[in-house]
Structure 1
Amino acid sequence: MLPTPSPHAIAAIIVTIGMFVAFARAKMSTEIVSLMTIAVIAVGLYFFPLPDSQPTEGLALAFSGFGHYALITICALMIMGRGLVVTGALDPVARVLERVFKFNLQLGLLLSLVMAFCLSMVVNDTPVLVLLLPIFVSLAARGAMPASKTLIPLNAAVLIGGMGTTIGTSTNLLVVSIARDLGMPHMNVFHFTPIVLMAALVALPYLWLVMPRLLGDNRVADIAEKRRFHARLRLGEDSILTGQELSTVLPRLPADLEFHEAPIGPLQPQQRLAISGTHEALEEAMRTLKGEIAPAWVIDRIRQQSSEIGADINVVEVSVTADSRLIGRTLPSSGVADLYGVAVLGIHRPHTLLGERDQYSEGGDLRISEGDVMLVMGLLPAIEEFARADSLLILAGKREMPRRSKAALAGGIMLGSVGLASIGLLPIAISALAGAILMFVTGCVRFDRVGRALSAKVIVLVAASIALGRLVLESGAADWLGQTLSLGLQFLPPAAVLAAIMLFVTLLTNFASNATAATVGTPIAFSIAEKLGLPAEPLILAVLFGCNLCYATPIAYQTNMLIMAEGSYEFRDYIRTGVPLVLLMVATLSILLVSTYGM
């Protein structure tokens, strides 16, 4: 006889469904729906507290998410990810993958998915995604596939890989531990790996070919053409062009980089080349050719000052006004570097105003004219002094240069945090928090830049999901759903029993938490096996697999939250791509379990 759910259990189910519908309809922002969910739980439990509890305990439950270790962990991971980005620590890896993506986008994505899957089998899911996330955001900025089309497939590959071993996720360990306490034999690390590998072969084509097509492009199209700056590139002593002709290296340079009056014959160290391109193209040319587009001594002085006072180096565009003393001068004759300690990297002038010989000096340098836009690098106070003294207008927007001197340090902090969590020496919450603190202490991330690392949408969504998960568990809604499930399974064939258990646990995972799903689902599966006379191990594995099928909502797992802001995802993006994957994995895993255990 099916027991009647308690009023609190009914309310918990209604709130869960209401939150899901509100997210799916997307008529209100994620932040508003999340805060409304927290408010409904808080007010409801204050006036109608849970049995044997006080109204204030209901308020503590509703707001517990804001102080929960999972939210602290996610914020710490975001801060560490920001540290990798602002120091440029992952640029070398990004450039390698960029070459693969440039060769073939589909091959690059396939390689990335396989890499993510393999890594997450031996390293916990969250650290793997934390390492990969900044790389793929950087790749998107470099012109590879947009982040919105790669991050959800990448996250799914990580989650499927983490399902393959007992150490892949902490939830796997929890299910195996509970099963052992119930009398099940011990499962080794690779006990069920072959099943997951076969299921992954079925899921991979969907992740690779179908899922990106279901996701939008979050890149913002440039309304105006990017400014192109004219500069003089001086080749370094160790440049790859030394002794070679220019044509040999052109394929390795950005497509929008242009050489003017290209020299004939082998190039020599300290030779100056007239080039033009966007700021990004100029930077890539300097890195590839090992040259400088401004005096090396002033760039070294800027970097030294930045290190001494702990200030960021900025690159700013400034416009030359009619009152500027620079009009008619060239950069070498302007004395800007000596007077202000800033480096002018290039000058932008519309094509319609270029071409007259009297605009160039005898040395071939462009003479500065009214309306020119100069690309200036330096510390912000020095740039402001330069603009004020020479009658220049600072244009809107500035770009902070990566603090490359901290790149190795930021990479070491990240690897140390990930390594400690991966080998189980420290929980991910502790290692991530310690890593975030070290990022602050060492200057890899500045305190006044924390807001750029964190996402308000993710924070309130995590807090709401934690509160809802606790409500589902403590109200008895999860237990009632489990009892309802067990009563209806006695008439189904084994494959359907496995699929039903997996779907039930998946439902709990996507709307409560995988820990809740494991805690509730494992004893239920063991009891069902005894009642129906089925082997317990495949039913326990159905619970374990179901706990990992957390693709359909962003609140299901912390890695889902981590990619939400970077991919500019909405709740419905997870539903649209995750539900088909859940159904595909449930069907595949159920068939594999039946065939493997001869049920």
Structure 2
Amino acid sequence: MEAPSLHALAAMALTVAVFYLFVRDRISIEIVSLLAIAIIAVGLYFYPMPHTQPTDGLQLAFSGFGHYALITICALMVMGRGLVVTGALEPAARFLERVFKLNLQLGLLFSLLIAFALSMGVNNTPVLVLLIPIFVTLALRGAMPASKTLMPLNAASLLGGLATTIGTSTNILVVAIAVDLGMPRMGVFHFTPIVLAASLIALPYIWLVMPRMMRDNTPEVSEAQRMFVTRLRVPPSSNLAGRHFDEVVDTLPEDFRFEERPAGPFETGQKLRVSGTHDALEDAIRVLKGQIAPGWVVDEVEREAKRLGEDIQVVEMVVTSDSRLIDRTLATSGIADRFGVAVLGIHKPNRPLRAEDAVDASGDMRLAEGDVLLVMGLTGTINTFAQADSLLQLEGAREVPRRSKALLAATIMGVSVGLASIGVLPIAIASLGGAILMFLTGCVKFDRVGRALSAQVIVLVAASIAIGRFVLDSGAAGWLGESLALGLQFLPPAGVLAAIMLFVTVLTNFASNATAATVGTPIAFAIATELGLPQEPLILAVLFGCNLCYATPIAYQTNMLIMAEGSYQFGDYVKAGVPLVLIMVVTLSVLLAMTYGM
């Protein structure tokens, strides 16, 4: 066997060095990724590979930025953003929220089984695209942190995708290469029983162990959530009309309470003092179909937002010592008439509601220095209001979901996912078409695209594609395969299967699934012929290994999709993914040997 070329050695050394730097986490992922791209570009420019030009090295190094995989990931992020900002996934999130409230562990298990089952018949990438924003929303609603749910969900979807020949694009590629080599075509459920048996061992780890290995990456809140006092109005369409307090109390959010209780049933036109956090007030309005600001003001803000094509903002504003609002009430301030904004509630610092707070004859609270107003309106009117009345605008403005476009966003996502799932369009084309439609229909604004994309993910994907191509084109992958074949003659059949699976797993976690499938399938076919072993189990070992992409974020596009939303570090994938890889390699190798009588 010949020694590896200098370029192959350089590719292997660069891969190991980049992995080490990623795991150490001393230098940011963006810097390491850009350094890797720069090293490949400069190195291949001055020392090009045989039969190539210096400019070919530059093309290889920077090819990741225009690669279809990166474009697909960005398009999927944009579509996911469209579902969030329109509130399209709120019904599904509320259903799962009820499941999680019954029991967190059972809620997670239920979600994992859904992801697993869907990924068996549908490409697992669209499945994760749908589930990610739902579980991010659930985390904001107080369920399990996104960092503890997204990694297990991704693992479950990858596991489900492993179970059928159509579960992932990699499965289709391996089966196609095997057919080209002379093997009979495998059916959709050809190896499903093997994967289902392995899942009985892997799923408990994903469900019970993996979440405990993940840190709670939820951003820390600098202070407790503010409680806002407001008036709840009972319009004719409200669910409160004609009902008693005891009938609705169990449907209220935890951080919401009535400060005044009616003696009898609720009546249309009634105004009752209530208090709650911003989220609790929103949930209570949705459940009770009440109003916490005059209906005409809210309608005016919505009409103006539609006319101008702007998003409605909800911000918190502090009353300063120079404000004209001091000692006035909302009714006497004329805020709505003068500025066209709606004040949804008032927070009294360190005293959510006390009897000694100054009130006027009608019972409305007077504003004081330091009070925090929860204000809804357009960006321009809010800024005008803040400047005119000497208010200090706090950070953390939130957009009101454009619910009028929720059905449209859900339809665009559904059609895109459906076309990709049944194979009418490649996932890249379907996701790009969906993202463009999200822009054209206003579900996602052009100036808000930056919020949907993650610079860290973009640079990391580009670097991983460049490294993968370098490993393949330099001959490093082929040399490693030849080295593997030399040592397999001394191993038992189950050991041969495990070794092939581990080799392909390493390739798929550090290069790409396509590289692993392209290199691994012919090698496995040749090893089977050389050692006199049945070809099918060795080909399946390659197929399984290509899907064991749990150990790095660069291994598969869904790993990248969850990275930003879960605030994961490179080391999180290694810590949680390596044990799962070992579990699957051992289990699948034994099951393959038993199934094929090896």
Note whether the superposition's TM-score is higher than 0.5: yes
- Alignment match, 2:483: 484
3-state DSSP of counterpart to 1:188: coil
- Name whichever of 312-321 and 302-311 sits farther off: 312-321
Q: Deviations over 1:13-41 (max 9, x none)?
A: 11111111111111111111111111111
How far, CA to CA, are the matches of 1:240 and 1:353 in structure 2? 26
How far, CA to CA, are the matches of 1:287 and 1:381 in structure 2? 27
- Alignment match, 1:10: 9
- Alignment match, 2:538: 539
3-state DSSP of counterpart to 2:395: strand
Q: Deviations over 1:33-65 (max 9, x none)?
A: 111111111111111111100111011101110
- Alignment match, 1:79: 78
Summarize the Cα distance change of 1:509–1:351 in structure 2 as closer, same or farther, 3 Å threshold.
closer
How far, CA to CA, are the matches of 1:203 and 1:321 in structure 2? 58
Summarize the Cα distance change of 1:528–1:252 in structure 2 as closer, same or farther, 3 Å threshold.
same
- Alignment match, 1:571: 570
How far, CA to CA, are the matches of 2:231 and 2:352 in structure 1? 19
How far, CA to CA, are the matches of 1:433 and 1:457 in structure 2? 20
Kindly tell me the number of residue pairs found equivalent between the two proteins: 598
- Alignment match, 1:114: 113
Query: C-alpha displacement at 1:170, in angstroms?
Result: 0.8
Summarize the Cα distance change of 1:595–1:336 in structure 2 as closer, same or farther, 3 Å threshold.
same
Q: Deviations over 1:430-482 (max 9, x none)?
A: 11111111111111111111111111111111011000100111111111111
How far, CA to CA, are the matches of 2:418 and 2:500 in structure 1? 34
Q: Counterpart of 2:368 in structure 1: which amino acid?
A: S
**1:434 and 2:433 aligned:** yes
3-state DSSP of counterpart to 1:593: helix
3-state DSSP of counterpart to 1:393: strand
Summarize the Cα distance change of 1:322–1:8 in structure 2 as closer, same or farther, 3 Å threshold.
closer
How far, CA to CA, are the matches of 2:558 and 2:211 in structure 1? 18
- Alignment match, 2:89: 90
How far, CA to CA, are the matches of 1:342 and 1:290 in structure 2? 21
| Ranges in structure 2 where 5+ consecutive residues have no aligned partner | none
Query: C-alpha displacement at 1:427, in angstroms?
Result: 0.7
Say if 2:357 and 2:365, in contact at 8 Å, map to a contact too: no
Say if 2:145 and 2:218, in contact at 8 Å, map to a contact too: yes
Q: Deviations over 1:101-129 (max 9, x none)?
A: 12111011101110000111111111111
- Alignment match, 1:473: 472
**1:60 and 2:82 aligned:** no
Query: C-alpha displacement at 1:340, in angstroms?
Result: 1.8
- Alignment match, 1:178: 177
- 1:395-544 alignment runs, 5 A limit: 395-544=394-543
Summarize the Cα distance change of 1:559–1:379 in structure 2 as closer, same or farther, 3 Å threshold.
same
Q: Counterpart of 1:373 in structure 2: which amino acid?
A: V
- Alignment match, 1:266: 265
Query: C-alpha displacement at 1:323, in angstroms?
Result: 4.2
3-state DSSP of counterpart to 1:438: helix
How far, CA to CA, are the matches of 1:185 and 1:294 in structure 2? 68
Query: C-alpha displacement at 1:375, in angstroms?
Result: 1.1
Query: C-alpha displacement at 1:486, in angstroms?
Result: 1.2
How far, CA to CA, are the matches of 2:17 and 2:351 in structure 1? 60
Q: Counterpart of 1:97 in structure 2: which amino acid?
A: L
Say if 2:228 and 2:352, in contact at 8 Å, map to a contact too: no
3-state DSSP of counterpart to 2:155: helix
Query: C-alpha displacement at 1:352, in angstroms?
Result: 4.7
- 1:197-216 alignment runs, 5 A limit: 197-216=196-215
- Name whichever of 461-470 and 379-388 sits farther off: 379-388
Query: C-alpha displacement at 1:496, in angstroms?
Result: 0.6
- Alignment match, 2:164: 165
Summarize the Cα distance change of 1:392–1:5 in structure 2 as closer, same or farther, 3 Å threshold.
closer
Summarize the Cα distance change of 1:331–1:189 in structure 2 as closer, same or farther, 3 Å threshold.
same
3-state DSSP of counterpart to 1:515: helix
Query: C-alpha displacement at 1:485, in angstroms?
Result: 1.1
How far, CA to CA, are the matches of 1:131 and 1:100 in structure 2? 18
Q: Deviations over 1:523-561 (max 9, x none)?
A: 111111111111111111111000000000111011111
3-state DSSP of counterpart to 2:346: strand
- 1:546-585 alignment runs, 5 A limit: 546-585=545-584
Q: Deviations over 1:293-337 (max 9, x none)?
A: 011111111111111111111112222334444333322333322
3-state DSSP of counterpart to 1:291: coil
Q: Counterpart of 1:520 in structure 2: which amino acid?
A: V
3-state DSSP of counterpart to 1:490: helix
How far, CA to CA, are the matches of 2:357 and 2:143 in structure 1? 41
- 1:206-245 alignment runs, 5 A limit: 206-245=205-244
Query: C-alpha displacement at 1:189, in angstroms?
Result: 0.8
3-state DSSP of counterpart to 2:397: strand
Query: C-alpha displacement at 1:353, in angstroms?
Result: 8.8
Query: C-alpha displacement at 1:281, in angstroms?
Result: 1.1
**1:332 and 2:331 aligned:** yes
Query: C-alpha displacement at 1:354, in angstroms?
Result: 5.1
Q: Counterpart of 1:307 in structure 2: which amino acid?
A: K
- 1:290-301 alignment runs, 5 A limit: 290-301=289-300
How far, CA to CA, are the matches of 1:343 and 1:43 in structure 2? 58
- Alignment match, 1:20: 19
- 1:309-328 alignment runs, 5 A limit: 309-328=308-327
How far, CA to CA, are the matches of 1:390 and 1:8 in structure 2? 67
3-state DSSP of counterpart to 1:50: coil
How far, CA to CA, are the matches of 2:49 and 2:154 in structure 1? 37
- Name whichever of 115-124 and 358-367 sits farther off: 358-367
- Name whichever of 223-232 and 564-573 sits farther off: 223-232
How far, CA to CA, are the matches of 1:245 and 1:514 in structure 2? 60
- Alignment match, 1:135: 134
Summarize the Cα distance change of 1:186–1:395 in structure 2 as closer, same or farther, 3 Å threshold.
closer
How far, CA to CA, are the matches of 1:370 and 1:484 in structure 2? 75
Query: C-alpha displacement at 1:243, in angstroms?
Result: 2.5
Query: C-alpha displacement at 1:358, in angstroms?
Result: 7.2
How far, CA to CA, are the matches of 1:352 and 1:495 in structure 2? 69
- Name whichever of 117-126 and 267-276 sits farther off: 267-276
How far, CA to CA, are the matches of 2:351 and 2:448 in structure 1? 41
How far, CA to CA, are the matches of 2:22 and 2:284 in structure 1? 46
Query: C-alpha displacement at 1:92, in angstroms?
Result: 1.1
TM-score normalized by structure 2? 0.97
- Name whichever of 574-583 and 78-87 sits farther off: 78-87
How far, CA to CA, are the matches of 1:393 and 1:247 in structure 2? 40
**CA RMSD, Structure 1 to Structure 2 (Å):** 1.5
How far, CA to CA, are the matches of 1:18 and 1:495 in structure 2? 32
| Ranges in structure 1 where 5+ consecutive residues have no aligned partner | none
**1:589 and 2:588 aligned:** yes
3-state DSSP of counterpart to 1:186: coil
- Name whichever of 378-387 and 10-19 sits farther off: 378-387
How far, CA to CA, are the matches of 2:295 and 2:52 in structure 1? 69
- 1:31-42 alignment runs, 5 A limit: 31-42=30-41
Aligned sequence identity (%): 69
The list of structure 1 runs, each at least 4 consecutive aligned residues, that deviate by more than 6 angstroms after superposition, is: none
TM-score normalized by structure 1? 0.97
How far, CA to CA, are the matches of 1:522 and 1:448 in structure 2? 45
3-state DSSP of counterpart to 2:528: helix
- Alignment match, 1:155: 154
Say if 2:227 and 2:352, in contact at 8 Å, map to a contact too: no
Q: Deviations over 1:485-521 (max 9, x none)?
A: 1111112111111111111110110011111111111
3-state DSSP of counterpart to 1:359: coil
Query: C-alpha displacement at 1:255, in angstroms?
Result: 1.2
Q: Counterpart of 2:234 in structure 1: which amino acid?
A: L
Q: Deviations over 1:200-251 (max 9, x none)?
A: 1110100010011111110123232222111001123233333322123222
